[in-house]
Structure 1
Amino acid sequence: MNKTIKKLRISLAIAMTKLTVFGLRLLNRGGTSLPGKIALKIYPNLLSELSGKFRIIMITGTNGKTTTSRIVAGMLDQSGIKYITNKAGANLASGITTTLISALSLTGKPLVRTALLETDEAAFRTIAPKLRPETAIITNFFRDQLDRFGELYTTLNGVREGVSGTPDTTLILNADDSLCASLGQNVPNPVLYFGFAEGAYPEADESGKTDAAFCIHCSSRYTYSSTTFGHLGHFLCPSCQYTRPAAQIECTQVLAYDNLSSTIEIQMPEEKFSVKLALPGLYNIYNALAGAALGHILNLKEKELVHVLEGFECGFGRMESVMVQNRHLKLILVKNPTGFNQVLKYLLTQKDRCIVALAINDKLADGTDISWLWDVDFEILAFMQEKVGAFYVSGIRAEDMALRLKYAGIPEDGILIEHDENKLIDRLIEASGENETIYLLPTYTAMLDIRKNLKDRFKLKDFWK
C-alpha cells in the first residue's frame, strides 16, 4: 500500500473513531466497541500500527480478567504511571481499538505511553501478536460458553498460539492451573508464576476437577497433594511427571475469610507480608496474586503493594456494591459452572438474612447454551434457606433457572419469577429490610440491563467511567 494512502487511512480511522465516540456519549451510549469496528473497517491492520506507540499489558483467561485488570490499574497508579485501559470490559479487537485510539491525539501522537488491556481469551490468539505486549497475565482456563469457545483445549491452544507469536512478552501465569501453567513450558518468554502454597487452603471437594482431570501431555489422571477449587491446586502426573511449577508469588496462608474480605499472607520473591484484601471470595485471592506479580515487575515494595490490595474497589458488576434505599445490593457476574460455584460458596459465608436473585439470559454474549446451569452446585443453597427470604429469578431464561432451583431442593413457593427489571428491583427492595444485603447474580447481558436500570434510578456512574 502506498505510504501516503496508508497514512490517510490511519488518520481517517482515528478521526472517525473519536467522532463516533463523541456522538455515542452524547446519546448516553457506551461508545466502546462500534467506533473500533469502524476504525478496523477503514484500516484492518490498525492494531499492528498502534502497537509501537504503547507499552502494553494484556490480561486474559476465563475468570478474573476484569478484577485483575482493576488491581493492576491500582499497581500502575501506585507507580505513578499514566495509562489507558478498557475499563468497561470491551475486550474484543473492536473495543481494544477504541481504547487505544482514545489515547491518541488527532495527529496520532500518544497522550499516554502505557495501555492496560483486558483481552477476550478467544481473541488473544490474533490480537497479541499484533500488539506485542510487554507483559501478559493469563489467569486460568475453565469450561465457558461452549457454543462460542468450543472445547476447553481449543481455547487453551488459541492462547498458546498467541503466546508463540509474542516471544519477548513476560508471562504471568497461574501455577495451580495445569492448563495455564503449561503455557510457560518450552518457550523463550520470561515467566513468573503465582498460586497457593501447598495446604494454604485445603479443599476436600474433588468434584470440580472435571475441566482438566487428565494430563495435558500424556492423558493420565492427575493426583493432587492440595487443591483450592475446580482443578486448581498442586497437581502431578504420575506417568510423565508433569507437575505444578514453583510459584514466585504465593499465598502461604488464608488467615481470615468471610463475606466481606479475605486476610492472607503473601510470599513475594524478597519479602512476606499479610494483607486484608478489600474483596471477598477465594477466586479473588488468585486475582490479587496476579496483580501482586505485576506489582513485583514494577518494583513495588510491601507498603505499596498492601496499599493497593487493601484499597481496591470491586469493578463493574464484579462484586460491585450499591446502596439502594439503605439496602446493600451486590452485583456478582456469573458465566460458567466453576465461577458460579465459587459465588455460591461465597454466599454461604453470609451470616445475616439476605435476598438472592438470579438473572439468566441466553444472548450471544452470555452463551446461547444454558445447559451449564445443571453443572452448577445449586444444591448447596439448601444450607442457607433459613437466611434467604426468597430466591428471585429473572431474565430470558428465568423459567429454566426456576426449574434448576426446584431440582436443587428449593421449595417451589420460595422461588419467585419476575421478568420485568424495574419490578424485580422493586420487589427485592420490598422483600428486604434496611441494612440487609441483596445478592443479584446476573449473566453478562442481564447485568448490563440491570445496571443500566440501577444507574437511571439511583444515579450510578456509567459503566465506562
Structure 2
Amino acid sequence: MSGNSVPGQGAAPRRSPEALPPRSKLAITASRVTAAISRRAGKGSGSVIGGKLALRLAPDLLAQLSVGLQVVLISGTNGKTTTTRLVAEAMRAAGPVVSNALGANMPAGITSALAGAGDEARYGVIEVDEKYLAGVARDSDPVAIALLNLSRDQLDRAAETRMLAEKWREGLRGRDAIVVANADDPLIVWAASSSKDVLWVAAGQTWQEDSWSCPQCGGVMQRPGDDWFCSQCDFRRPSPTWSLAGDQMVDPDGRIWPLHLQLPGRANRANAVTAAAIASLFGVPVEAALERMKHVTAVAGRYDVVDYMGRKLRLLLAKNPAGWVETFSLINPPPTPVILSVNALDADGKDTSWIWDVDFTQLAGRPLFVLGQRRLDLAVRLEVAGLQFQVFETAAQAVAACPPGQIEVIANYTAFQQLRKTIKEAAQA
C-alpha cells in the first residue's frame, strides 16, 4: 500500500458473532456475563475482566472480531484517549464505528469493546497501550496506525522510551498499514521510519526532555526553531503533510482551517489535526471531520466542569511530566485555586520520582491544595519549588478551604478516578 490512501471498497464483510466458532461465541457470552456482574458489584465497567476471560477461552478472539472491520490503532504516551474519541467522532461521518472510547486499551479491553459491536460496525477506532501496540497490530490487521508521542511514564514498569521506540519500529516493519506519525517527535519519527507508508503530521512537542539524543546514532539532537536534526548523522525531521499552526490547521493542499474545539489547549488542537488526517484517509472531508469534532466537550471525565459542595470544579487528568506541563497551560490564571492529587497505585506506576521533572513553579501565585495517597511526596516537591500550599486528607476538606471561584483540579490516573467517584457519590446522596 502506498500513496496515503485507504481502499474504501472490497473489504471482507463484517463477521457476525453468530458466525464465529462455538468456542468464540462461548467466550463472548462469558465476557458479557462477567462484565455485567462486575458492573452490578460496583467494580467498574467490567470490560477488562470480561475481556481477560474471553481471551483465556479463545486466545485468537481479537483477530476473529477484527475481520471485516477497517481498524485504526492509536497509541502514544499522552493523548490516546482524546485522539481516539476525536477520530471516532470524525469517522462516524463515513459509517458506524466501534471504539474503546473509555480507555480500556490493553488486549482484554480492546477485545471486550469489539465483542460488543453490532454487525453493522464498519470501522474500529482503537486506543492501544504503548507496550501492546505491536501485538494488537499483528492481531487486528489495521489499515492505519497513529503514533502520537513518546515520553517517560510509569518508570517502575515501562520500558525506557528509546527501547519502546525500537520495539515499535520492529513491530511495524513491513506492515501495510498507513502510519500517521508526529513529525515533531524524534522518537516517533524513528519508530515510524521502518513503515512502508507514513503520513507525517506536525503536531508539536512541548516536552522535549526525552528526545535530546539521536535514536539512530546516539548523537546530540539540534533544535533550531520548529526543526530538529542530529548533529552526527542524517537523521532529521521529515516534511509534514498536515500541520498545526497556532489555532489553525493546514491540510495537504495548503488550505487553512480554523479549529473551533470545545476541548481546551494546544495538545487537543494537535490531537484534532491528527484525527482529521486519519479521517481523510477514509474519505471523510475535512469540513465534516472538524464539524463533528467540535461537539466533543469532555473525554472520559477529562475537562468536565462538575458541581461539588456548591462549587464548580474543572477536572483535568495528568499522568506524567509531559502531561502535567501541557495541563498547566490550560488552567485559569492566578488567583484561581488549584487542587493537586497524586497516587502511586498499580495503574499509576509506583515510582513517583517523575514529580521532580515537573516545573511546578508555573503554579506560582495560585492557592494550592494537595491531596492523594502520595500527598506528602508532592508536598516536599512543592516546598522545594518555593510554593505555598496546604495538605488535606479528603477532597471535601480541600474544597472547603478553597477561596471563591472555579477550582482547577489536576490529578493522575487513579486519583482522578477516585475524585470522580467521590463527586458522583456526593451528587447521589
Q: Which residue number corresponds to residue 176 of structure 2?
A: 168
Deviation at 1:409, TM superposition (A): 0.5
Could you tell which deviates more after superposition, 121-130 or 304-313? 304-313
Mapped contact 2:182–2:200 kept (Cα < 8 A): yes
Structure 1 CA distance, aligned partners of 2:391 and 2:79? 29
Structure 2 CA distance, aligned partners of 1:327 and 1:192? 45
Map Cα deviations across residues 390-436 of structure 1 (whole Å, 9 max, x no partner): 3111111011111111111113xxx222223xxx1354156243xx2
Map Cα deviations across residues 326-385 of structure 1 (whole Å, 9 max, x no partner): 6431111111112112212333xx246322111111111101100010111012222xx1
Deviation at 1:287, TM superposition (A): 0.9
Structure 2 CA distance, aligned partners of 1:284 and 1:114? 23
Q: Which residue number corresponds to residue 3 of structure 2?
A: none
Mapped contact 1:327–1:432 kept (Cα < 8 A): no
Q: Which residue number corresponds to residue 65 of structure 1?
A: 80
Distance 1:302 1:57, change over 3 A: closer
Structure 2 CA distance, aligned partners of 1:305 and 1:127? 26
Distance 1:327 1:125, change over 3 A: same
Q: Which residue number corresponds to residue 230 of structure 1?
A: none
Distance 1:425 1:295, change over 3 A: farther
The AA in structure 1 aligned to 2:136 is I
Q: Which residue number corresponds to residue 160 of structure 2?
A: 151
Structure 2 CA distance, aligned partners of 1:171 and 1:126? 16
Distance 1:336 1:17, change over 3 A: same
1:313 aligns with one of 287, 297, 303: 297
Structure 1 CA distance, aligned partners of 2:134 and 2:194? 18
Map Cα deviations across residues 79-114 of structure 1 (whole Å, 9 max, x no partner): 14211111221111111111111115xxxxx34232
Structure 2 CA distance, aligned partners of 1:309 and 1:116? 15
Within 5 A, what are the aligned runs for 1:289-368?
Answer: 289-324=273-308, 327-347=311-331, 350-351=332-333, 353-368=335-350
Mapped contact 2:259–2:269 kept (Cα < 8 A): no
Map Cα deviations across residues 32-60 of structure 1 (whole Å, 9 max, x no partner): 20000111111222222222142211110
Map Cα deviations across residues 187-237 of structure 1 (whole Å, 9 max, x no partner): 32x21111159xxx9x8xxxx53311011112221111224xxxxxx2112
- SS for the counterpart of 2:234 is coil
Distance 1:54 1:60, change over 3 A: same
Within 5 A, what are the aligned runs for 1:4-403?
Answer: 7-28=21-42, 29-77=44-92, 79-103=93-117, 110-164=119-173, 167-188=175-196, 190-195=197-202, 208-227=207-226, 234-252=227-245, 254=246, 264-270=247-253, 271-324=255-308, 327-347=311-331, 350-351=332-333, 353-382=335-364, 385=365, 388=366, 390-403=367-380
- SS for the counterpart of 2:318 is coil
Mapped contact 1:174–1:195 kept (Cα < 8 A): yes
TM-score by length of 2: 0.89
Structure 1 CA distance, aligned partners of 2:233 and 2:383? 44
Mapped contact 1:125–1:160 kept (Cα < 8 A): no
- SS for the counterpart of 1:103 is coil
Structure 2 regions of 5+ residues with no counterpart? 1-19
Structure 1 CA distance, aligned partners of 2:361 and 2:333? 19
- SS for the counterpart of 2:84 is helix
Mapped contact 1:317–1:331 kept (Cα < 8 A): yes
Structure 2 CA distance, aligned partners of 1:81 and 1:327? 41
Mapped contact 1:124–1:158 kept (Cα < 8 A): no
Q: Which residue number corresponds to residue 258 of structure 1?
A: none
TM-score by length of 1: 0.82
Deviation at 1:279, TM superposition (A): 2.1
Alignment size in residue pairs: 408
Mapped contact 1:327–1:429 kept (Cα < 8 A): no
The AA in structure 2 aligned to 1:51 is S
Aligned-residue identity in percent: 30
Map Cα deviations across residues 163-189 of structure 1 (whole Å, 9 max, x no partner): 127x1111110010111112332432x
